[in-house]
Amino acid sequence: MRTERDRLSVLAVDDVAPALDELCRLLAAAPCVRDVVRAGDAVSALRALQGAVRLDAVFLDISMPGMDGIELASLLGRMTDPPVIVFVTAYEEHAVSAYGVGAVDYLLKPVSAERLDAALGRIRRVAGPSTGPAAQALDELAAVPVELAGRTRWVRRDDVRFAEAHGDYVRLHTREASHLVRMPISRLEDHWAGAGYVRVHRGFLLAVRAVQELRSDSGGGLLAHTDAGDVPVSRRHARELRDLLLEAATRGELGGVER
C-alpha cells in the first residue's frame, strides 16, 4: 500500500481548457498521484514550479502560444533539481525533439488511462520518493533517441566512444557510425559524467574506457585514439585524462568496449 510520501505531485500544462481538464481528471484518478496542479500557459507553469509544493513531474503540451513546450522544458532542465518531463501532444513528429530535451515519455492525445499509467511508472522509476531521484535521474540518457530516415532509434550510451559538439547539436560516435542529436554537449556531460565520460576538449566528451592509446599530432598536440577515431585533448585536460587512464588501467577497465 502506498503512503502519501510515496505518491507524486504533478503539474499539467495545456493552453486548451478541455484538454487540460481531461488530463487533470486522468491524473487525479491515478493511485500514485497525490496532488495535481494545473497551468494554462508556460508563465503560469513557471509560477507553479516556484510555489511551496515540490512538483515531481510536469505533463506538458508542446504547441502553446508564446513559449512552447520544448522551450519550457529546456528552461526547466537548467533548474538545480528539475521535475521529470512528459510531453502530451497531438503531433507525433515532435518526438525526437521532445526526447532531446530530456523527456522520459511522449503521450499522444487523446491519452488513455493505461498509457498514462505507463508514463507515471516511468516517472516513479526516475524521481519517485521511494526510489530516490538523484541516483535514477543521472541514468535517463543511458540510451539516446536519434532520427534516421524518418524513424527513431536509440543509441546505447555504452556504445558511444566520444561525442562531438556541433552548436546546439552533438554527434555521437560509435565504432560503426555517427549520429547527430539535438542536444548541447554540456547537458550530455552532466548526465554521463558518472558513467566514465570526461570532457577532454571544449568540443569533445570522451569515454575513458574507449581510449586505446595516446598519440601526438603533427603540431605537438595530444590525441586520444579510439576505434571510432581520434579525439583532440586540450592541454588543460591532458593531466586529468592521463590520471583517469592510469586508474582505469589499474582496475582493468580499458579496452572493454568491443561490440
What pLDDT sits at residue 187?
A: 83
Burial code (b: 16+ CB inside 10 Å, e: under 16) for 42-52 equals: beebeebbeee
What pLDDT sits at residue 257?
A: 58
Cα atoms found within 13 Å of the Cα of residue 57, Cβ hemisphere only: 34
Least confident of 44-53, 115-124, 126-135: 126-135
pTM of the full structure: 0.50
Q: 14-29 pLDDT, tens per residue?
A: 999 999 999 999 999 9
Burial of 168 (0-12, 13-18, 19+ CB in 10 A): exposed
The CA distance from 190 to 247, in Å, is 21
Q: 95-121 pLDDT, tens per residue?
A: 555 556 677 888 888 999 988 998 898
Q: 188-237 pLDDT, tens per residue?
A: 888 888 889 999 999 999 999 999 999 998 888 999 999 999 999 999 99
The CA distance from 154 to 144, in Å, is 5
And the C-alpha cell for 42? 508556460
Q: For the chain, give the longest Cα–Cα distance.
A: 65
- Full set of structural domains in the chain with CATH: 4-137 (3.40.50.2300), 143-250 (2.40.50.1020)
